[in-house]
Chain A
């Protein structure tokens, strides 16, 4: 049993996009703030801090997670994936990201990180989603710019592309 006192800062360690990271946080510090302001991983955005907008969605130990409804202290020792971990390299976009760019599936880009994380997580275990399934998944995100439909197109396109590249790999 570990009891962290309210008024002091405690060490928090976890794996962020495959690299171990460490910082200090009071028990009340939200994971979203910890990622952004302690670790400088500002790609995860904060839009509502009550779990409604989805902008801060990340993956913790394989679970889609609202970073604003999670304490930094809760994820000590966990594996975390954020938007910064999506691209294969700094100068190249992944399949899903490319599909977003190709389909104008973002405008201001503020909500985009959360949406990408939900899709990246979902497509990994659902390679052939229907439009209805994508709409159901993304109903947990708010976007004010795009009207959503280009996002859905991009998601379906990325799913098809990922499936076919997997097919090629397994054929080879």
Chain B
């Protein structure tokens, strides 16, 4: 279990990164916290020709409040964000979800944007980004673009990022006057979610986001629903997610969790 051979580029500026990506394209990988990528390298699941280490670039390490949004740079570690003094006030849903990401020993290295780039359908940060309706800032050597969360995740471990693009950061909206809830069921504490649900109150009703079932975290907005109308909506949503069996859970169990936890969380945020 030793990684395949690759060049290592210690980038000191964003320009370094973009240059490396432009040269090597799909054969280059950005190395941030390394908590997913390094394991894949050790298993030889990934075989990049070039690793670009972005963690020495100071300007990517910023957490900034910009108006009604919080901008988080590509170098911000999960532990940095958890320790950010404004987190609970500005991003209560992130404050709820982040402790579920891995373990303290992996959050201390792993980055927020790295988790998004990896796009594991069970991971908490993609779910949170989608639930909040955030944006991803992409940049290549020539241009910058912003991609809405719902358009960013393209499938299992697939995103809208082009091979020569760097995820420079993300923006998460500060949503005032709402209520948030998050719950996750995993086999053990710290495991990938069998089902993770995030709910928030919206001006017109409620939003439920579910991770761990479909290939991408999936969001549904509803008006205020109650009783059997809510049950029906959750049941339809549960089926639409296309759950499958694996060694940890059955499709039916996953649908059960969506129905039950979804109902609980919606109750919590609408009470």
Direct contact of A and B (CB under 8 A): yes
Binding site for B on A (CB under 8 A): 1-7, 26-28, 30, 33, 49-51, 54, 57, 63-66, 68-71, 73-74, 76, 118, 122, 136-137, 139-141
Count of residues in B whose CB is under 8 Å from the partner chain: 40
Report B1-33 CB contacts with A as 1/0, cut-off 8 Å.
Answer: 111111111111100100110000000000100
Q: Which residues of B are found within 8 Å of A3, using beta-carbon distances?
A: 7-10, 20
Which residues of chain B are near A54, meaning CB under 8 Å? Answer: 103, 105
Q: List 22 A-B contacts (CB under 8 A).
A: A1-B9, A1-B11, A3-B8, A6-B7, A6-B49, A26-B5, A49-B39, A51-B35, A51-B38, A51-B39, A63-B79, A64-B104, A69-B39, A69-B42, A71-B34, A74-B34, A74-B53, A118-B104, A137-B104, A140-B106, A140-B190, A141-B105
User: How far is the CB of A118 from the nearest CB of chain B, in Å?
Assistant: 6
B16:A70 contact, CB within 8 angstroms: no
- Which B residues are in CB contact (< 8 Å) with A4? 7-10
- Chain B's nearest CB lies how many Å from the CB of A168? 29
Contact A63 B7 (CB under 8 A): no
User: Do A5 and B7 have beta carbons less than 8 Å apart?
Assistant: yes
CA distance A73 to B34 in the complex (A): 13
CA distance A2 to B8 in the complex (A): 8
Chain B residues with CB under 8 Å of A7's CB are: 5
Task: Give complex CA distance A6, B6 in Å.
Answer: 5
Q: Given A1-B9, A6-B6, A27-B51, A49 and B104 touching (CB < 8 A)?
A: no
A28 to B16, CA, bound (A): 20
**Min distance, Cβ A10 to any Cβ of chain B, angstroms:** 8
Residues of chain B within 8 A (CB-CB) of A28 are 2-6, 41
Residues in B with CB closer than 8 Å to A137 are 104
Evaluate contact between A73 and B7: CB separation under 8 angstroms.
no
Given contacts A54-B105, A68-B42, contact A6 B10 (CB under 8 A): no
Q: How far is the CB of A165 from chain B (nearest CB, A)?
A: 25
Are B38 and A70 closer than 8 Å at their CB atoms?
yes
Q: Indicate the member of B31, B34, B38 with the most A CB atoms within 10 Å.
A: B38
Whether, in the assembled complex, B109 has its beta carbon less than 8 Å from a beta carbon of chain A, the answer is yes
Bound-state CA distance A32–B55 (Å) is: 19
Report the 4 A-B pairs with minimum CB-CB distance, sorted nearest first. Answer: A140-B103, A27-B8, A69-B38, A6-B5
Residues of A near B49 (CB, < 8 A) are 6
In the bound complex, do residue A65 and residue B8 qualify as a contact, i.e. CB atoms below 8 Å apart? no
Q: Are B16 and A63 touching (Cβ within 8 A)? A: no
Which chain A residues lie closer than 8 Å to B39 at the CB level?
49-51, 69
Provide the residues of chain A in CB contact with B41, threshold 8 Å.
Answer: 28
CB pair A140 B105 closer than 8 Å: yes
* Chain A residues within 8 Å of B9, by CB: 1-4
B189 at the A/B interface (Cβ < 8 Å)?
Answer: yes
Contact of A118 among B55, B77, B105 (CB under 8 A): B105
Q: Is B43 an interface residue (CB 8 A)?
A: yes
- Which of A66, A73, A136 has the most chain B CB within a 10 Å cutoff? A66
Report how far A54 CA is from B5 CA in the complex, Å: 25
13 additional A-B residue pairs with CB within 8 Å, beyond A3-B9, A6-B8, A66-B109? A3-B20, A4-B9, A30-B2, A30-B42, A49-B1, A50-B42, A54-B103, A57-B105, A66-B106, A71-B38, A74-B55, A136-B104, A139-B188
On chain B, the residues within 8 Å of A71 by CB distance are 8, 31, 34, 38, 51
Contact A30 B109 (CB under 8 A): no
User: Shortest CB–CB separation between residue A30 and chain B, in angstroms?
Assistant: 7
Decide: A64 and B5 in contact? CB cutoff 8 A.
no
Query: How far apart are the CA atoms of A139 and B3 in the complex, in Å?
Result: 26
For residue B159, CB closer than 8 A to chain A, the reply is: no
Q: B62 at interface (Cβ–Cβ under 8 A)?
A: no
Q: Quote the shortest CB–CB distance from A27 to chain B (angstroms).
A: 4
